[in-house]
Each structure stands twice: as structure tokens, then as C-alpha cells.
Structure 1
């Protein structure tokens, strides 16, 4: 536990060194929401409500969804593993007395703390500049449920990117997998449009995937919606976490023997 906490602290401080990256992330967040503002203001010109959202509700959705999406630092896991496996430095994890998965979980959670405060800054900038009314629920149950669901999904995403990182033992380049995951994640997690606007049959299929519960459902819960999906969501995310913990352990034990310590 002390080792994990130490790793988390180090990477929390490390994020503060790259100030330009942090500033760029704030700018990108504002740009993303500005695009949504321009798009939906045009769509709502002749309509008062779409998919149960008013214009103010739609903007509030994008602000909250963007806030939660910005907290996801799991992609760095697969990128870091790919670079170290290809560069021949991954062997240090095999000889140090530390659980590799636990190390990456601690590293990502440490980064998440920095991203949390960064996302608050970006959200406040948007709310102040464009005067967006944040339609947040006052029900403690839904707020706690959203937090629990988000944290569980964040842990799964770390496991998922650890899995993608392990593929570097097999494939020369895993950037294709990272790119596919990034694009699918933006859509399935509701980052492009609220999933309520999709055909119900498509949404039912998406609900079986853990990505639905990463930011979309927590966003809807924080807005006081979809409370009936909370219990099912927690169970589904827990099942996916257990499945990938087993898959990752099995895959690592099978693939580690291919690694010669000087890259592949």
C-alpha cells in the first residue's frame, strides 16, 4: 500500500511539470464544448426540446460529460507500456518487487488527481464565460452512485489499456488499437452525442459494454436521470473488471516469456 501511494504521489507531482500540456488540455476542453454550443444552438433554433433535453440541458450535459472524460488518464498506460516494451526497458518491472498492474493503477490515479483540478478549472471557465446553467441533481444517492460508477469504470479503463499495452508483446505497433479505442470511446461514452438520441436497440447493445458507464451514465445520474440503471451498471462494470483481471494475468504470464529484456 505504501509503494502504491508513493507511486501515486510521484505521478501527481509529475503532471505539474508539463504545464503546457495542462494548458492545452484546458483549451481543448473549451474548444470541444464551444463546438457543441455552436452545433446545438443551430439545431435548437426551431425546437424547444430534443430527446428530453432543452438547449440549456444539452449544454449542461456536455459540460458534465467533458468534465468526467477529462479525468480519464488511462490511455497513458498502453502508450507507456508500448514504448517500454519496444525500447527494452520493460524488464525493470519484472525484477522490481512490485505488482505491475498495481503500479499502473497507482500511476494513473496519481495523474487523475491533477486532472481533477484541471477539469474543474476548465468547467468553471465554460460556465462563467457562456453562463451555462449546470443542471445537477440534489439527490445524494445519485451523486454517490455516479461517483462509485465512475471510479469503477476508471479502474476498468486502466485494466483495458493494460491489456492493449500487453499486445505490444505480439504486434509491432499497437497505435492502431489505441486509435480505434479512442474513436469508439468518444462515441460509446456519449462524448459526441447523448446516447439517448440513438435507436433504442443500439443503446441496449451499448449498455452491455463497460464504456457506457464510464462517463455517459454518471453524467445522466448527476443530472437526475436514468437512476433505474445504477444497480445494473455497477454489476456490469464489476463483471468486466473481474474478466479483464483474469485475462490480463493469463496474457501476461503467457507473453512475458517472449520478452528478452532488450526490446522485441
Structure 2
């Protein structure tokens, strides 16, 4: 039966909590025994004995696996969008593994350091695949707790990531605005075919739908961090509340 990392983490975590009891139980395995029973118990005692160095290694492994457990719980939440968290969590795990590898190397835990290196290589494969699609990136930027600022951190991301996210989002805003305008005009025509497509006021100012500049201004408001979101799990609620001053909220609701 394959052993999953989360089961390994749970077993190690439990063992560390029971460290004194386990040591005591192993220590008294051959107590009050004689003959073959004592010999068998002694063999088990030697096999199962854990030295202080062994326990320290288990603690290090547990520390490496703990963030994986936390990320799993984040993605297991109900009624919370998760596509916006994919890149964020990948990068969080990447940073954690790099720190853990450095720590393992400093402590001469070469086998653990090699295992972490393999994990990093596997993680980078998944991270590159996630960046091929636009949805994880746009989903993250549309999370009001994250926005564009997070991807402008050049300690974590290359500069083209934030630029790409902004360009895609601007394009989406224009496409959704055009589609919304066309649907509105079609509905209006079917209800009142005799009514002119543009009012006198609209004709006078030369625009029947929001211009690219208006949409850009709305994006600038969002990218500026105005109307902060205080709840990391409240992205959908934030966008719902923000419909009154961010007309493009429906983009977020479709993607998240």
C-alpha cells in the first residue's frame, strides 16, 4: 500500500508527542523476561530503539512536512475560491523548502537535504505548468487580499509576471465591458424598437459605453489597494459588496 506524505506527517507528529512514552515502552520490552522470550524482546528493542539523533531527525522531517499539511487544509475549505491561491501556495512551499534545505545542509542531514531538493524540482514543474495558464494568475490578482502588489515583489517573481497579469486583466475588462454593452443594447432593442440607441446626453458627450480610459481608471482604483479586504477568505463577499463602486465585479465572480 502506498504511503502518503500526510499520513507520514500525522504518524511522526503523533510519535513526537508520545516521545517519552515510546522510549519508556521500548526500554522495558525485555524486563522480567528470560530465555527465548527475552532474546526476542531484546532483538525488537535494538530494532525499535531511537537515539536522540533519530528523534531530532524526525522533528526535522515533521517541520518540513508541516506547511504541506497547512496548505492542504487551506485548499480543503468549503465555499472559498481556491484558484486564486494556487500560485501563492506554490511559492510559499518553494520558499519553505529552500529554507529547509539550507537548514538540513547546515546540520549535515544530507539525505534530508537531497529529499528536499527532489521536492523542489517536482514543485518547480507544477509551478511552471500553473503559469502556462492565465487563470491561476488572474485568479490571484482578482483576490482583493493579494491583487497585483504581491506579484510585484521581485524577490519572489520575475518582473514579467506582474506585467503579464495586468495586461491580461486590462484585456478582460475591455472584453467584458464590450460584451455587457452588446447584451444591454440587444435587450433594449427588443423591448422598445422605436427608442433611439443613444440618448441626447450620450450623443452630446460622444460615448454610449464606458471608454477604455474609464475602465483603466477603475483598474487603477483596484490596483491601488483602495477598499482593502481584511478577510483572506472573503474574496467573493468583498467583490459582492464592491459592486456599487467597481462595476467589473462580475469578472471576478465568473473567474473565482
Q: TM-score, normalised by structure 1?
A: 0.24
The structure, 1 or 2, with the larger RCO (C-alpha pairs under 8 Å, 6+ apart) is 1
Q: TM-score, normalised by structure 2?
A: 0.24
Question: Which has more radius of gyration?
Answer: 2
